[in-house]
Amino acid sequence: MSASERKPEWTDAVLAEYAAHRSEVISEAETQQQTLALGATAVGLVVAGAFNVWSNKLLVSIAFLGVVPLLCLFVLIHWVGRAAGLLRVGVYLQQLEEALRAAYPDAPPNVLIWEKTLERTTRQGRWWKASYEWHDFGAIGIFALLAYGSIALGAYRAYARHESSVIVLVIIEILVMSGFAIRLLSEVAMARQRLRQHFRD
């Protein structure tokens, strides 16, 4: 067996770990989509229920000013947590790919490059360039807009004879929701770079 054909003892363990983590990536991606689907369904049910009792100002106000924004927030927090976990596994897989390619320098150039290829398709300082990361930001934007729309409907329904209270409540909710949305967008945007730096350190 030549030196180039001789494989380091650790490569079998790394290949097994790589396969296990790839399975985790698939599982996490499926869970992310389920989170969005269940969240959208829950929001839809609450909105439909609120419209069915539109004449009851108290219930409608509670649904649109409280329940829907909270649901949107919980969905986003859970979804971003899953996204962060998925990014962490992806960055770790890239480290394994690099280690395996170093161990097998004669390997074909198109194997063990999945995560490296994904890294190249991320935004390189140009946010307007199409990127697979856009779905991360899009999910946050959609649920944030659902929350804002719900707050607007709730304010419209509750405004009469409660003007000052509604205005204060709406301002507080918008500020809180905007703060969470910005924070979550920042986490998704910076997670990959932070993780790569963590693995380098």
Does residue 192 contact residue 84 with C-beta atoms inside 8 Å? Answer: no
How far apart are the C-alpha atoms of 96 and 98, rounded to whole Å?
A: 5
Does residue 72 contact residue 144 with C-beta atoms inside 8 Å? Answer: yes
Q: Residue 9, class by beta-carbon neighbours within 10 Å (0-12 exposed, 13-18 middle, 19+ buried)?
A: exposed
131 occurs within a structural domain:
yes
Q: State residue 201's pLDDT score.
A: 61
Does residue 158 contact residue 135 with C-beta atoms inside 8 Å? Answer: no
Q: Tell me the CB-side half-sphere exposure of residue 113, using CA atoms within 13 A.
A: 10
- Count CB atoms within 10 A of the CB of residue 8: 13
Write out the DSSP string of 177-189.
HHHHHHHHHHHHH
**pLDDT, one tens digit for every residue, the chain (201 residues):** 444 455 666 777 777 777 777 777 777 778 888 888 999 999 999 999 999 999 999 999 999 999 999 999 999 988 888 887 777 777 777 777 887 778 777 777 777 777 777 666 665 556 556 566 677 778 888 999 999 999 999 999 988 888 899 999 999 999 999 999 888 888 877 776 676 676 666
86 occurs within a structural domain:
yes
Alpha carbon 80 to chain centroid, angstroms:
4
Q: State residue 152's pLDDT score.
A: 94
Domain extent at residue 145: 11-200
Q: State residue 40's pLDDT score.
A: 93
pTM: 0.76
Alpha carbon 201 to chain centroid, angstroms:
25
- Count CB atoms within 10 A of the CB of residue 195: 19
User: How many separate domains does the chain show?
Assistant: 1
Q: Which helix (H) or strand (E) holds 34?
A: helix 11-52
5 occurs within a structural domain:
no
133 occurs within a structural domain:
yes
Does residue 120 contact residue 133 with C-beta atoms inside 8 Å? Answer: no
How far apart are the C-alpha atoms of 100 and 176, rounded to whole Å?
A: 46
Nearest to 27 by CA among 11, 119, 73, 19: 19
192 occurs within a structural domain:
yes
Q: Residue 101, class by beta-carbon neighbours within 10 Å (0-12 exposed, 13-18 middle, 19+ buried)?
A: middle
